[in-house]
Structure 1
Amino acid sequence: MLASLMQDWSQSALAVTDWKKNVIAAGFGLFRATRLHRIAGDLLRGRGVILTFHRVRPAPSDPFQPNALLEITPDFFDAVLTRLRETGLAIVSLDEALSRLVTGEGGPFAVLTFDDGYRDLIEHVLPALERHEAPATFYLAPGLADRTARLWWVELEEAIRRLDVVELNVGGVEIGLLATDVAEKAEAFERLRLLLREAGEERLLGAVAALAAEAGVDGRALVEASCLDWDDVRELAAHDLVTIGAHSLTHPRLSALPVEVARAEIAGSRARLEHELGLPCRHFAYPYGDVAAAGPREFTLAAEAGFASAVTTRPGMIFPDHARHLRALPRLSANGLWQDLAFLDVLLSGAPFFLWNGGRRVNVG
Structure 2
Amino acid sequence: MTAAATGRPHAPGSGRGRLRMAPVLMYHSISPSGVADPHRIRVHPDRLDRHLRLLRRLGLRGVPLAELVRATDRGEAAGLVGLTFDDGYTDFLEHAVPVLDRHGMAGTVYVVAGRLAGQNEWDEGPRLDLMDADAVRAVAAAGHEVGSHTLHHVHLRGATPAVLAEEIQGSRRVLEEVLQAEVPGFAYPWGEFDAAAADAVRAAGYDHACVTGDYLPGDRFTIPRFYVAPGDGAARLLAKLTRHSWRMRGVPDAGGAG
- The answer to whether TM tops 0.5 is yes
Verify the 8 A CA contact 1:316 1:353 in the aligned structure 2. Answer: no
> 1:115: which partner in 2?
86
Query: CA distance change for structure 1 residues 90 and 256 in 2, over 3 Å: closer, same or farther?
Result: same
Given candidates 194, 217, 222, the residue that maps to 1:328 is: 222
Letter in 2 for 1:228: M
Q: Secondary structure at the match of 1:112?
A: strand
Q: Which amino acid aligns with 1:138?
A: V
- For the pair shown, the structure with the greater C-alpha radius of gyration is 1
CA contact under 8 A between 2:85 and 2:110: conserved in structure 1? yes
**Aligned match of 2:202:** 303
Q: Secondary structure at the match of 1:139?
A: strand
Q: Which residue of 2 aligns with 1:259?
A: 161
Q: Secondary structure at the match of 1:235?
A: helix
Higher relative contact order (CA 8 A, sep 6+): 2
| Unaligned residue ranges in structure 1 (runs of 5+) | 1-45, 159-221
Deviation at 1:103, TM superposition (A): 2.4
| Equivalent AA in structure 2 for residue 254 of structure 1 | L
Q: Tell me which of 22, 31, 36 is aligned to 1:48.
A: 22
* TM-score, normalised relative to structure 1: 0.59
Q: Which residue identity does 2:62 align to in structure 1?
A: I
The offset of 1:94, in angstroms, is: 2.2
Q: Report the Cα offset of residue 152 of structure 1.
A: 3.1
1:157 corresponds to = 125
Q: Give the Cα–Cα distance (whole angstroms) in 2 for the partners of residues 316 and 345 of structure 1.
A: 18
The alignment status of 1:65 with 2:37, answered yes or no, reads: yes
Q: Cα offset for 1:311?
A: 0.4
- Matched-pair identity in %: 30
Q: Which residue of 2 aligns with 1:212?
A: none
Structure 1 or 2: larger helix share?
1
| Alignment deviations for residues 120-172 of structure 1 (CA, whole Å, 9 cap, x no partner) | 1111011111111101111101122053x75232xx235xxxxxxxxxxxxxx
Q: Which residue of structure 1 aligns with residue 46 of structure 2? A: 75
Question: Whole-Å Cα distance in 1 between the matches of residues 86 and 77 of structure 2?
Answer: 27
Distance 2:77 2:85 in 1: 24
1:316–1:350 CA contact under 8 A, matched in 2: no
Q: Does 1:272 align with 2:171?
A: no
Corresponding residue of 1:348: 241
- What CA distance in whole angstroms lies between the structure 2 residues aligned with 1:248 and 1:262? 9
> Counterpart of 2:23 in 1: which secondary structure?
strand
Residue number among 235, 258, 279 corresponding to 2:138 in the alignment: 235
CA-to-aligned-CA distance 1:331-356 (integer Å, 9 cap, x gap): 011111x32111111111026974xx
Measure the CA separation in 2 of the matches of 1:108 and 1:344.
16
Pair 286,106 (structure 1): closer, same or farther in 2 beyond 3 Å: closer
User: In the alignment, residue 341 of structure 1 is paired with which amino acid?
Assistant: A
Tell whether the 8 Å contact from 2:211 to 2:224 is kept in structure 1 after alignment.
yes
Q: Which amino acid aligns with 2:156?
A: L
Q: CA RMSD in A?
A: 2.6
